[in-house]
Chains A and B, each alone.
Chain A
Amino acid sequence: MLLKPKTSILQKIYLPDIIIGLWITIKNFFFGKKVTIQYPEERRNYSSRLRGMHYIKTINGVENCTACMLCPTVCPAECIHIVAGERPDKEKYPISFEVDVLRCCFCGMCEEACPKDAIKLSNIYEMSMLKRSVYEKDFLLEQRGHK
């Protein structure tokens, strides 16, 4: 059944409502608070819990990671690839540690699984790259973020 809304005679001749509408738009034009964030100069304040670009925490230049393989195991996107090795100062360490960011879903489970506080997600969200982005170990060892 078609229900026709009840309209008064003033609404039927449109004009008063149109004038009200025009008033609203011009009010916004002059006094409306602009919500645009002018990106390169202004930035949005994200929560400190934001999960952004990965890094591996180091202490005195030695990576925390012991190549325990917990993070590639828990990773739902299967984007972490670790080759483990041995060296004089460290019993077990990752020879290569790659994060395929194109597959990564930034769920943060690697961070939660890590027993050594090694892999972490910083709060850097500007991650565009000019080439296919697989984060190598050298890149991951740069300390970024403040977590």
Chain B
Amino acid sequence: MDFIDWIILGIKIGALLIALLSVAPVMSWVERRGSALMQNRLGPNRVGPFGLIQPIADAVKFMFKEDPVPGHVSKFYYVLAPLIAFIPALTTFSVIPFASSIEVMGRVVRFQVADLNVGFLYIFAIAALGIYGVVVAGWASNNKYSLLGSVRSSSQMISYELSMGLSVIGVIMIFSSVNLNDIVRDQGNVLFHLGQFAIPKWGIFVQPLGFLIFLITVFAETNRLPFDLPEGDSEIIAGYHLEYGSMKFAMFMMAEYINMATVSGLLATLYFGGWQMLPGMHTLLESFSLSGSLSGITYEWVRIVFEMFSFVIKVAFFMWFFVWVRWTLPRFRFDQLMGFGWKVMFPLSLVNILLTGIFIKVM
């Protein structure tokens, strides 16, 4: 790696960090407006057009609020916990490719911060670290509700991470790789032709059951609503972040939203073809190049922009889906949650592996 490679890497990291950090404010606005409209209210609409400046007002409030440390907490771990939750959330997105590669001046630039061979295993490993933030926060807060929240969180994480890992094994079997770039590239192939439409080999078409299991477990993984027992406002007030205020609380919130972005990216990458273009965009690009208005390097850059756009659309859809489900479904009861995790999701993910094996053998 020479100097220019480092600069390219720096630009990629910077752009990704800015994108991820701006996810949280944007999503908080989407969440508030979305929930309001679903509940026949209007939501925040005073600050700026459609209330779009509201997240900035929130951020200013978070920063300038008093940041007290309650007297009864274990101070070191209390301060450490938001960081433990926040840093893994920021690092996990690095292996998700958001466009294919481009050749500029003899260099192949990949639109992915780290092209790791272990691929999404890295995401699972680091995302599982994030749960320590929740556990430490609950324990250090020295508060019954917080401790209950973190205990729930860890037990939920163990029972759902298992099915999550097993559901992804189907994807590994189909694409015979854990490298996300390879998986996405393979999803560009055509699975079969349906009349004049070519059905691409997207994960959703070859792994429908696996997708469903992964989708559900991902909700549990990010503590979103049908599975938000660690927070459970009406039962344990706010769970693990009960004792936190101002920016420390904001860090938990941001970690939650960034985790949502990461798993949305993972969902898009594994099951919806990642940066593979949306239906119709390919034809559009072809018509551009055939008419001769685009050629050479310009064509390549337009292709990259199209791919990024497709990826962002897919991720945005799943982000919206998280909000949508949150304001639709009520919370599970804890025993139902455990029963669902161990008696339904776990056997189903095993069945999925079996079915995938049969599918591969038959095809």
Contact = CB atoms under 8 A, between A and B. Distances in A.
A1 interface: no
Nearest to B45: A38
Size category, A interface:
10 to 19
B328 A28 contact: no
13 contacts: A18-B329, A21-B328, A21-B329, A22-B328, A25-B324, A25-B328, A26-B324, A29-B34, A29-B37, A32-B37, A32-B38, A34-B42, A36-B42
A25 B327 contact: yes
Nearest to B33: A29
A35 B40 contact: yes
Nearest to A27: B38
B185 to A, nearest CB: 32
A3 B70 CA distance: 46
A28 B329 contact: no
Interface in B323-343: 324-325, 327-329
Interface of B: 34, 37-42, 324-325, 327-329
Given A28-B40, A34-B40, A34-B42, A22 B34 contact: no
Contacts of A34: 37, 40-42
B316 to A, nearest CB: 16
Contacts of A49: none
Contacts, number: 34
* A25, A28, A34, A38: residue with the most chain B Cβ atoms closer than 10 Å: A25
**Interface majority SS (helix, strand, loop, mixed), chain B:** loop
Contacts of B41: 34-36
Nearest to B43: A36
Contacts of A35: 40-41
A90 interface: no
Interface string A4-26: 00000000000000100110111
A87 interface: no
Contacts of B325: 22
Given A28-B37, A29-B37, A34-B42, 13 more contacts: A18-B328, A18-B329, A21-B329, A25-B328, A26-B38, A28-B39, A28-B40, A29-B38, A32-B37, A33-B40, A35-B40, A35-B41, A36-B42
A78 to B, nearest CB: 41
A22 B324 contact: yes
A32 B42 CA distance: 11
Contacts of A28: 37-40
Contacts of A36: 41-42
